[in-house]
Structure 1
Amino acid sequence: MDIRRYLGLFLLLACFVIAGPFAHAQIQVVGDGGPGPVKAQHLTAELVSLAPALAPGGTLDVGLVITLEEKWHVYWINAGDSGEPPRIKWTLPQGITAGPMQFPIPSRLPLGPLMDFGYEDEVAFPVKLTAARNVKPGPVHLDARVDWLVCREVCIPGKAHLGLNLTVDPKATSPAQPVGALGEALGLLPKPLPGDMKLTVTGGKNEFVLDLITGERTTDAEFYPFDQEQIANAGDQVVEPLSDGVRLRVPRSPELTKLPATLRGVIKLDDETAYDITAPIVAGEVPRRAGSGPLPPAAKELTVLAAVSLAFVGGIILNLMPCVFPVLFLKGLSLVQSSNEDRGRIRRHGLVYTLGILVSFWIIVGALLALRAGGSEAGWGFQLQSPTFLAILASGIFFFALSLAGLFDIGLSLTSVGGELAQKQGYTGSFFTGVLATVVATPCTAPFMGAAIGFALAQSGWITFAIFTSLALGLAAPYLLLSLQPAWTRLLPRPGAWMETFKQITAIIFFATVIWLTYVYGSLFGSASAAGQGVYHVALLLACFLLLAIAGWILGRWPARWTSSIAALIVGILALAVPIYQPKQTTLTWQPFSEQTLAQARSEGNPIFIDFTAAWCLSCQVNERLVLRSADVQREFSRNKVTLIKADWTQYDAAITKQLASIGRSGVPTYVIYPAGKGSADVLPELLTKDIVLAALKKDTRR
């Protein structure tokens, strides 16, 4: 899975209150078929109508109203990544028929890396009754069997026997103004697309692009598909306002290998406006063309000349940012130490340093334009979204800071100063110091830069190139001006012992930068997995720093020796391999649950892990993807020869229900470890972490 914005959402699970064990193993049917509300686990259900009477040959809106406890939810007709919608089975008097249950506008319900579609608080599902013309007047009773799935961290199936008393009356009329939860739901049903609106759908390799012409600029939209496995439910749906409507980019499901003929679903413009749509899909790609997206507010009134000017000023100010200033200071040291050298050579170093910045910026611009042409969005500092880039950057700065702090001496080759070695490698050093200045500048945004960059990224390639070139020249300007005007170096302090002290102080700034980069690195993993994953990867990066410190100690202990240089290089390569290399995850085989399978496994004496799960259980899917499939847990399962059994409760299974009852549970997720030998069952919490599973395995796999 790509590293994306959703890598820390699993942390939200820790904020929820974990539901305790339930007292009954069977799915109890609440209610006796009479009218009125009935209370079930975490919700109240009731049948209601808009009027007490129904005319022969007429219609009447009735509905199922569900009132939920806080943070519990039920599902839309397409539940999303997991879940099941409510269902009604009617038993009606002769001459009265019921239409399909209707679903009001849903909401997106994120949990971890998954997304459900459904409702919280209170929802009503309308149903239209129709009476035949020959139905006899008088009282009638409507009988309904209702089932649902209500979820939070655990998912609880529920059933109710509900009823509604009505009267068949030839004088019955429909209410003038629908009221209550049912009346509100009727107003929130998605409507057919009006004739003056137009929808086109383009199906690309990675996304569907929905262009809805509404006649006015529209700034918000969401799409909910009727068919499963068409879109990536949890993916970002990108809204691009148009002058006469809206463009919505919906990520395509990775499981959708063949483009469907039509796209069916609901397009939601706000909480009260949605349209039921069915549109043919035209194969093709719709790139994010320059200027097609909304500009940042501060950039709307900019001209090209103003943006270029702001970028140049922003580049100059960027030198004062904590992430860049240490590099500029080191270049200043080089000028101090080279004040007696040939002025022409100093100027050439300044130009080479500028070239290093320019080339680096042009590479960044090229990558941004390539991503934009391919339909992706990226901005200033996009490379910091890559864990590999962050690990290499943080390691390089850490190693450089060790030298500045005095652990070892790599000279000042990066700052292009004197000596025969500098004459051979000094220009290379100046060039790559410009590269380093660019690299460490990307996390920063100086004043005036934001509007200029926002404007640049919405323009044509040449304008984007010109604005970023101006930004690069602004970043290079202070050192370039000093090198072009050697007389100004007289204003700088003379060389002396203070330079070594200042160098060590600069190391502190670099170490602080490393701490921040380490935080960013860990956040990439923490945002889509358990908190322990972020900590785990930070620990790997810290181990890398430890090995780099050993490499630095080798260089300092045996300086100027080729053997020590080779040894330090080998240790450095091993150091980078620690955070960058991740072994492929193995997937073990799970046996389907049955009483015979469990009995056989217990007779063999091996530890047993049972996963009580269901396809409609969102927490089950989160626990499985982020914990049970993790390399650490899979490795322990394999090492301890744990028999893995999956008790799939997607469809009601009496054997699984009985087994749940034997351990005092009635819902999923439930996780049980039977220790090696004949020990009693160890029931784990509903919300898993790797530490919980690993600790339980350690305890229960002892012979």
Structure 2
Amino acid sequence: MRRATTMNAMHSLRRFRLLAALLLTLFPGCLFAQIGTVVGNGGPGPAKAQHLTVEMISAGPQIAAEGTQTVAFVFSMEEGWHVYWKNAGFAGFPPKVKWTVPDGITAGPLQFTAPDRLPLDTTVDYGYQDSVAYPVTIEAGSKPKVDKNGNVHLGAEISWLVCKQVCIPGRANLGLDLKVAPVRTAVSHDGEKVGELGAALKGMPKPLPLSFRIKATTAGDSIVLTAITGTRETDAEFFPAEPDVIADVAQIETDILDNGAQIHFTRSPNAKTPPKQLIGVLKLATEESYEIDVPIMPGPPPVHAGSGKLGTATAVGAAALAFLGGVLLNLMPCVFPVLFLKALSLLQTRSSQKQHVRAHGVAYTLGIVASFWLVVAALLALRAEGRQLGWGFQLQSPGFVVVLTSFLFFFALSLAGMFDFGLSLTSAGDSLTQKGGYTGSFFTGVLATVVATPCVGPFMGAAIGFALAQPAPVTFLVFTALALGLAAPYMLLTLNPTWVRLLPRPGAWMDLLKQITALPLFITVIWLVYIYGRLSAANGIFAMSMLLGGLMLVVIAAWTLGRWPVRKWSTAVAAVLCVLAIAVPLYASRETKSAVTWQTFDADAVAKARSQGKAVFVDFTAAWCLSCQVNERVVLKSDEVEKQLSQPNVVAMKADWTQYDAKITTALQSAGRDGVPTYIVYPANPSAPPDILPEVLSKSVVLGALEKDLK
């Protein structure tokens, strides 16, 4: 079975959204433009709004009495900007339309063609780039009310959210006239076959063919959708129709089968109970899409044969590929620095030590094999519980990622020359003759395995995919071959000491090369920070920030060891700092339940509370506002602020502007603001003016304002 990764081609460009989001947090003056501005003059358009153009079109100029006609709203976005599907994904909202039509005319709901995945740094949106049409079916009664020209006017106020690095809500007044024809008159529907409207209707999800077999299964937090279509699907995507069912992550794993595909999800962390149905759209590589509504059954997914290179391969063939993949794995950035340091030790070995060198090579190999066996045992044990796991499953654990990131960063700082870590832990060197040297070589093999698990080198993917689908003895055979391949280059050097003469003589180049080898480790650390953010889908940016804070503690620990080397007290301080570096991101990422009862914003409720001598704190926020989320987590959810907001003489209200709300817009404009985040404290004294707080909050600012306004 071959692993395929479903990714949008624009993924690499969208990583810049993280930087933009941080800039918005630090410079809150970069807010949304005027939200109250409405484009369009009531005609079909096109109407130019910020970063897009919207127009209203019809499939034909007429509508027959007791008949239907199709109209559509066509959005054309600037490069890189997107609008949303009916389920926006992690953040955002789809377009909404408010109709003004004469009696006898009925407008149906917006229809949504199959969307694209729009991966962010840690999550994903579902929507459309470039252009899209949202069709609507218009239905006429037997006697619709017409104007003096025999027309019916369809008026529509449509609102939307368009996003790139920032998100901007917009509205437009559009409309068009349709000539009403007598009952059963044949009217034109040519537009349903061509142009944007034709493309949208063609892309509408279809009912499942009778020949398709669809099954959804769950084990733990894993959900697997198995689609048997009778064709080897080279690509398959699923878009959930409802939020909080599956985690909105930027990357989804898909197993390509001989006769279909299996798509692997993780249950949404926001789901209060395990979902019972999987409802949405299945999109295949053929650009065909189908409506899915299946129950989610407990248990492992059905096993189907894949058609990758190892579909009919023997266990011996898989082991051979695994061995070759293990050898090439030494060239991966995760592993090469470890192998390089082991090779460095051989340059300093005297001829009398050759026997010890061979023994250290054996110990190094045993460390790798034992580590691989431990990983495989864990894989098989978890597989027995019905979980879907693959190589590198350790990276699904936030704790493991934090520890691995901190360790690799600490090791990279040593390689870069910030302090002397001591090559006795990672190479034989002069300690080959010492009794404890074999233990060091064994655990160097363990280290090589730990840093190798995030990597999948050439030939490994097919071999591992085959091994994980086989009985336990075959799985152990393939992974043992992989371990031996990883250990082979160093083992060959120790068994053939004369090859050492081919290596260059020791010199200053060794320090330079050692520093160069730090670069792959730093790159790996960046990738692991990204992975950690993805593991915290709901608060990815905050989680990444906390991990970066922990790495700053690692830098201080490394500086301490470099400034005061070989001191017991400096080693102890560095150890404490490294423990804190691991504890800080793990502790900070815990989800805590708010002690504050937040009411929905209502201007009348504000006035009523103030008349009763209560102060009102209003949080104008939105799900798509990252600055709002940072302020909420860092300040509003702090114990001190929550304690004050929970007082009986304080009312906490949340004005959620995730979707356009005219009342919230009015309240913002009356306060002289046109975007979020905005925080307003209405004093207990009804005659006192409100206090508008800064966009970047602090505990002291909030507590001071509440204390003042309660008087």
Structure 1 residue 362 corresponds to structure 2 residue 373: yes
How far is 1:127 from its partner?
A: 0.5
Specify which of 374, 392, 411 is matched with residue 397 of structure 1: 411
Q: Give CA deviations for 1:317-347 in whole Å, capped at 9, x if unaligned.
A: 666774233332255267527538xx5x765
In structure 1, what is the equivalent of residue 177 of structure 2?
164
d(CA) in 1 for partners of 2:145 and 2:374? 78
Specify which of 86, 99, 103 is matched with residue 96 of structure 2: 86
In structure 1, what is the equivalent of residue 579 of structure 2?
577
In structure 1, what is the equivalent of residue 631 of structure 2?
628
Q: Give CA deviations for 1:580-636 in whole Å, capped at 9, x if unaligned.
A: 0123466574755466859999x9999x9853234xxx523x4444x1244478559
d(CA) in 2 for partners of 1:336 and 1:205? 55
Q: Give CA deviations for 1:57-94 in whole Å, capped at 9, x if unaligned.
A: 5x232323233442555544444444254234453344
In structure 1, what is the equivalent of residue 160 of structure 2?
149
Structure 1 residue 276 corresponds to structure 2 residue 283: no
d(CA) in 2 for partners of 1:695 and 1:682? 11
In structure 1, what is the equivalent of residue 670 of structure 2?
662
Task: List aligned pairs for 1:553-564, cutoff 5 A.
Answer: 556=566, 564=568
Q: Give CA deviations for 1:289-335 in whole Å, capped at 9, x if unaligned.
A: 5x85664x7x6796544443454455556667742333322552675
Q: Would you say the 8 A contact 2:321–2:459 is kept in 1?
A: yes
In structure 2, what is the equivalent of residue 102 of structure 1?
111
Q: 1:515 to 1:181 in 2, by over 3 A?
A: closer
Specify which of 113, 124, 139 is matched with residue 129 of structure 1: 139
Q: 1:142 to 1:8 in 2, by over 3 A?
A: closer
Structure 1 residue 328 corresponds to structure 2 residue 351: no
Task: List aligned pairs for 1:648-687, cutoff 5 A.
Answer: 648-649=656-657, 656-666=664-674, 668-672=675-679, 681=692, 684=695
Residue type at the aligned position of 2:96: P
1:253 counterpart SS class: coil
Residue type at the aligned position of 2:97: R
Quote the sequence identity (%). 30
d(CA) in 2 for partners of 1:243 and 1:681? 62
d(CA) in 1 for partners of 2:279 and 2:422? 65
In structure 2, what is the equivalent of residue 619 of structure 1?
624
Structure 2 residue runs without a partner (length 5+): 1-6
d(CA) in 2 for partners of 1:11 and 1:145? 35
In structure 2, what is the equivalent of residue 11 of structure 1?
18
How far is 1:399 from its partner?
A: 8.7
How far is 1:359 from its partner?
A: 0.9
Residue type at the aligned position of 2:631: L
1:581 counterpart SS class: helix
1:376 counterpart SS class: coil
How far is 1:579 from its partner?
A: 1.5
d(CA) in 2 for partners of 1:490 and 1:192? 66
Task: List aligned pairs for 1:160-239, cutoff 5 A.
Answer: 160=173, 162-169=175-182, 172-175=185-188, 177-178=190-191, 179-234=194-249, 236-239=251-254
In structure 1, what is the equivalent of residue 3 of structure 2?
none
d(CA) in 2 for partners of 1:407 and 1:205? 41
Q: Would you say the 8 A contact 1:397–1:510 is kept in 2?
A: no
d(CA) in 2 for partners of 1:263 and 1:408? 54
Q: 1:397 to 1:204 in 2, by over 3 A?
A: closer
Q: Would you say the 8 A contact 1:391–1:576 is kept in 2?
A: no
Residue type at the aligned position of 1:192: P
Cα RMSD, aligned residues only: 5.3
Q: Would you say the 8 A contact 1:21–1:664 is kept in 2?
A: no
Q: 1:521 to 1:68 in 2, by over 3 A?
A: same
d(CA) in 2 for partners of 1:407 and 1:640? 46
Structure 1 residue runs without a partner (length 5+): 558-563, 685-691
Q: 1:467 to 1:103 in 2, by over 3 A?
A: closer
**Length-normalised TM-score, structure 2:** 0.73
In structure 1, what is the equivalent of residue 256 of structure 2?
241
How far is 1:173 from its partner?
A: 1.1
How far is 1:11 from its partner?
A: 1.3
In structure 2, what is the equivalent of residue 560 of structure 1?
none
How far is 1:123 from its partner?
A: 1.1
d(CA) in 2 for partners of 1:693 and 1:74? 30
1:151 counterpart SS class: strand
d(CA) in 2 for partners of 1:204 and 1:319? 35
How far is 1:170 from its partner?
A: 5.1
**Length-normalised TM-score, structure 1:** 0.74
1:661 counterpart SS class: helix
Specify which of 644, 648, 655 is matched with residue 647 of structure 1: 655
1:339 counterpart SS class: helix
Paired positions, count: 657
Specify which of 388, 405, 414 is matched with residue 376 of structure 1: 388
Q: 1:509 to 1:98 in 2, by over 3 A?
A: closer
Residue type at the aligned position of 2:366: L
Residue type at the aligned position of 2:676: P
Greater RCO structure (CA 8 Å; 6+ sep)? 1
Q: Give CA deviations for 1:532-591 in whole Å, capped at 9, x if unaligned.
A: 97566445324324324535766635xxxxxx3xx4553243022132012346657475
Q: 1:648 to 1:435 in 2, by over 3 A?
A: closer
Q: 1:443 to 1:144 in 2, by over 3 A?
A: closer
Residue type at the aligned position of 2:59: L
Q: 1:85 to 1:515 in 2, by over 3 A?
A: closer
Residue type at the aligned position of 1:628: N
Q: 1:446 to 1:331 in 2, by over 3 A?
A: farther
Q: Would you say the 8 A contact 2:247–2:266 is kept in 1?
A: yes
Q: Would you say the 8 A contact 2:419–2:558 is kept in 1?
A: no
2:224 counterpart SS class: strand
Q: 1:142 to 1:414 in 2, by over 3 A?
A: same
